[in-house]
C-alpha cells in the first residue's frame, strides 16, 4: 500500500462535471489500495475573480482580509470534492490549510511554510478516509491569522504535505501531459519528458517554463519528494521529477532536458560608464534599491580613447520603469552618459544536466542560431544552462531550430488540451 498525494489545479476542478470526474479518479486510486491525500486549487478562475471583486471594493485591500477572501476559493472546491467522493461511496473529509496543520510565517499574500503538523490528515487516513486539503493557504501562529502562499501556491501545499506524511509520490494533475522539451504551443515537435532531475526542472522553471512553480520544486528537492506531473484528462504517464538521476540508477543522463523561451524580460544599457573601480557596484546598488531582479549582466571592454564602458543587464519588464527612474536620478553621481531601454528582447535557455560533461553544447547552439540567421545579443551560462538573448520576434524560430539541432524533435505533434498549462 502506498501513500499518494494528488494535487488538482483549478482547470481540473473548473465545474461540477470536472469535480465528479476528478472524484472518480481519486476513488479508483483509493480502491486500488492506496492511502490518498488530495490537495485542491480553487475552481477555474475563482481566485482571479475574487481578486477583481476585492479591487472593486477598494483599490488596495488589506492583506489580512484579502487572504481571508482568497482562501474561500479553495474551501469551495475542497467541500464539493469531498461530497462528490462520498457520493461514490468512499469516505472523504475536507480540511482547511490550518486544520491540516500548514503553519506559515505572517507574510500575507506570500507566506512561507514553517512547519506542517498533519495530525488530522493522518487520523483521517488511519480511519480509511480520503483527506482533501485546501491548497494555497496556511495559518500563522503568532497572529492567529489565515495566510496565503502566493499565486500557484497549491503545488507547494501538496509537496509540503507529501514531505510531512512521507508520501511515496506527489502527483501534480494539470491540463497538459507533463513537462515538455519545449512549450508545445510554440514548438509543435516538443516531446513529453519521461524523467527530469529537480535541478533541471528548477532551471527550466526559472527560464520561463510554467508548468510547475519554482517554490514547489525547491521544496520537493530539499525534502526528497518525487513529483509526478500528469494530466487529469487521461491516464497517460506524465513526467517524473526526481532528485537526481545519478550513477546508481543506470540511466544515462540525456544531454539536454529542454529549451525554454522567455518574453518577459527587458534590457537596460548604461552607456559611457567611467571604467574605474566601484562603478558596477554603484550601479547595481541603485538597481537593488529599486527592487529590480537582475538576470544577465554584460560589460563591454572599454574604448581605449575614452576609458568608458557600457554595462547591459536584463530584468523583468515589470521592473523596468522603476530601475530606469532610479538610474536616471543618479546619472551625475555615477557619471554615465545615457540609458537605453529595450523591451523587444527574447531569452532562450537550453537546460541539461549532461552539459557538465559535454564540451560541444555551446558550439552546436551557436551554430544552429547562425544557420538560421539569428543574431545573439547576450550570453550567460550556469553549470547546466546556457541562455542567449535574441530579438523578441526571432525567439520562436530560435527555439525551434535549437530544439531540432539537439535532436529533441519528436515524430508526433504534442497534444495541447487548451487552458493555460496550470
Ligand atoms: N488558487 C490559487 C491561484 O490561482 C492557488 C493555486 O491555484 O495553486 O493562484
Ligand atoms: Mg489557480
* pLDDT tens digits, 366-387: 999 999 999 999 999 989 999 9
Residue 122, SS3 per DSSP: helix
Over residues 310-349, the pLDDT tens digits come to 999 999 999 999 999 999 999 999 999 999 999 999 999 9
Q: Is 174 in the pocket of ligand 1 (CB under 6 A)?
A: no
The confidence score (pLDDT) of residue 414 equals 72
Q: Is 238 in the pocket of ligand 1 (CB under 6 A)?
A: no
The confidence score (pLDDT) of residue 361 equals 94
From the CA of 42, how far away is ligand 2's center (Å)? Answer: 6
Query: At a CB cut-off of 8 Å and minimum separation 6, what does 49 contact?
Result: none
> What phi, psi does 93 have (nearest 5°)?
-135, 135
Options 3.30.2130.10, 3.40.50.720, 2.40.30.10, 3.40.50.1000; CATH of 247-422: 3.30.2130.10
Q: Is 153 in the pocket of ligand 1 (CB under 6 A)?
A: yes
Q: Is 405 in the pocket of ligand 1 (CB under 6 A)?
A: no
Q: Is 206 in the pocket of ligand 1 (CB under 6 A)?
A: no
Which residue has its alpha carbon closest to ligand 1 atom 6?
Answer: 152
Pick out the chain residues at pLDDT < 50: 247-250, 419-422
- 3-state DSSP helix/strand/coil % of the chain, to nearest 5: 35, 25, 35
The confidence score (pLDDT) of residue 2 equals 96
Which ligand is nearest the CA of 216, by number? 1
From the CA of 148, how far away is ligand 2's center (Å)? Answer: 13
Over residues 87-131, the pLDDT tens digits come to 999 999 999 999 999 999 999 999 999 999 999 999 999 999 999
In our burial notation (b when 16+ CB lie closer than 10 A, e otherwise), range 363-399 reads ebbbebbeeeebeebbebeeebbbbbbbebebbbbbb
Q: Which atom of ligand 1 is nearest to the CA of 157?
A: 8
Query: At a CB cut-off of 8 Å and minimum separation 6, what does 193 contact?
Result: 178, 179, 180, 181, 239, 257, 258
Query: At a CB cut-off of 8 Å and minimum separation 6, what does 321 contact?
Result: none
Which regions of the chain carry the CATH code 3.30.2130.10? Answer: 247-422
Q: Is 44 in the pocket of ligand 1 (CB under 6 A)?
A: no
Q: Is 97 in the pocket of ligand 1 (CB under 6 A)?
A: no
Query: At a CB cut-off of 8 Å and minimum separation 6, what does 380 contact?
Result: 295, 296, 297, 386, 387
The confidence score (pLDDT) of residue 245 equals 53
Cβ proximity of 30 and 5 under 8 Å: no
Distance CA 386, CA 384 (A): 7
> What phi, psi does 265 have (nearest 5°)?
-105, 155
The confidence score (pLDDT) of residue 131 equals 98
The confidence score (pLDDT) of residue 416 equals 64
CATH number of 3-174: 3.40.1160.10
Distance CA 8, CA 251 (A): 30
Q: Is 158 in the pocket of ligand 1 (CB under 6 A)?
A: no
From the CA of 74, how far away is ligand 2's center (Å)? Answer: 9
Distance CA 353, CA 247 (A): 13
Name the pTM for this structure. 0.86
The confidence score (pLDDT) of residue 246 equals 53
Amino acid at each position: 500500500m502506498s501513500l499518494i498525494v494528488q494535487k488538482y489545479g483549478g482547470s481540473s476542478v473548473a465545474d461540477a462535471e470536472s469535480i465528479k470526474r476528478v472524484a472518480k479518479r481519486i476513488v479508483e486510486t483509493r480502491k486500488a489500495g492506496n492511502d490518498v491525500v488530495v490537495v485542491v486549487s480553487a475552481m477555474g478562475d475563482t481566485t482571479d475573480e475574487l481578486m477583481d471583486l476585492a479591487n472593486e471594493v477598494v483599490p488596495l485591500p488589506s492583506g489580512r482580509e484579502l487572504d481571508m477572501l482568497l482562501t474561500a476559493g479553495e474551501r469551495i472546491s475542497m467541500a464539493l470534492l469531498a461530497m462528490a467522493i462520498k457520493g461514490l461511496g468512499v469516505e472523504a473529509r475536507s480540511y482547511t490549510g490550518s486544520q491540516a496543520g500548514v503553519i506559515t510565517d505572517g507574510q500575507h499574500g506570500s507566506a512561507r511554510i514553517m512547519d506542517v503538523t498533519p495530525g488530522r490528515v493522518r487520523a483521517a487516513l488511519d480511519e480509511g478516509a480520503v483527506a482533501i486539503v485546501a491548497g494555497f493557504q496556511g495559518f500563522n501562529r503568532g497572529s492567529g491569522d489565515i495566510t496565503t502562499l502566493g499565486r500557484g501556491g497549491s503545488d507547494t501545499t501538496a509537496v509540503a504535505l507529501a514531505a510531512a506524511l512521507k508520501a511515496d509520490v506527489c502527483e501534480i494533475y494539470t491540463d497538459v501531459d507533463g513537462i515538455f522539451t519545449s512549450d508545445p504551443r510554440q514548438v509543435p515537435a516538443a516531446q513529453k519528458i519521461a524523467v527530469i532531475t529537480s535541478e533541471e526542472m528548477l532551471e527550466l522553471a526559472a527560464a520561463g517554463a510554467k508548468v510547475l512553480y519554482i517554490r514547489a520544486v525547491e521544496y520537493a528537492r530539499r525534502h526528497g519528494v518525487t513529483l509526478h506531473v500528469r494530466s487529469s484528462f487521461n491516464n497517460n504517464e506524465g513526467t517524473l521529477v526526481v532528485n537526481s538521476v545519478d550513477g546508481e540508477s543506470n540511466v544515462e543522463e540525456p544531454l539536454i532536458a529542454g529549451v525554454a523561451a522567455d518574453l518577459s524580460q527587458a534590457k537596460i544599457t548604461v552607456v559611457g560608464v567611467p571604467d574605474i573601480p566601484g562603478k558596477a557596484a554603484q550601479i547595481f546598488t541603485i538597481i537593488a534599491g529599486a527592487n529590480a531582479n537582475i538576470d544577465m549582466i554584460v560589460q563591454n571592454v572599454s574604448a581605449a580613447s575614452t576609458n568608458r564602458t557600457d554595462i547591459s543587464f536584463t530584468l523583468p519588464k515589470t521592473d523596468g520603469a522603476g530601475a530606469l527612474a532610479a538610474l536616471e536620478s543618479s546619472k551625475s553621481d555615477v557619471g554615465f552618459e545615457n540609458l537605453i531601454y529595450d523591451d523587444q528582447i527574447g531569452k532562450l535557455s537550453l537546460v541539461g544536466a549532461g552539459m557538465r560533461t559535454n564540451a560541444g553544447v555551446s558550439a552546436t547552439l551557436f551554430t544552429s542560431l547562425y544557420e538560421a540567421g539569428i543574431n545573439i545579443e547576450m550570453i550567460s551560462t550556469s553549470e547546466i544552462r546556457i541562455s542567449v538573448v535574441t530579438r523578441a520576434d526571432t525567439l520562436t524560430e530560435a527555439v525551434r531550430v535549437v530544439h531540432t539541432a539537439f535532436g529533441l524533435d519528436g515524430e508526433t505533434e504534442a497534444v495541447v488540451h487548451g487552458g493555460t498549462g496550470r
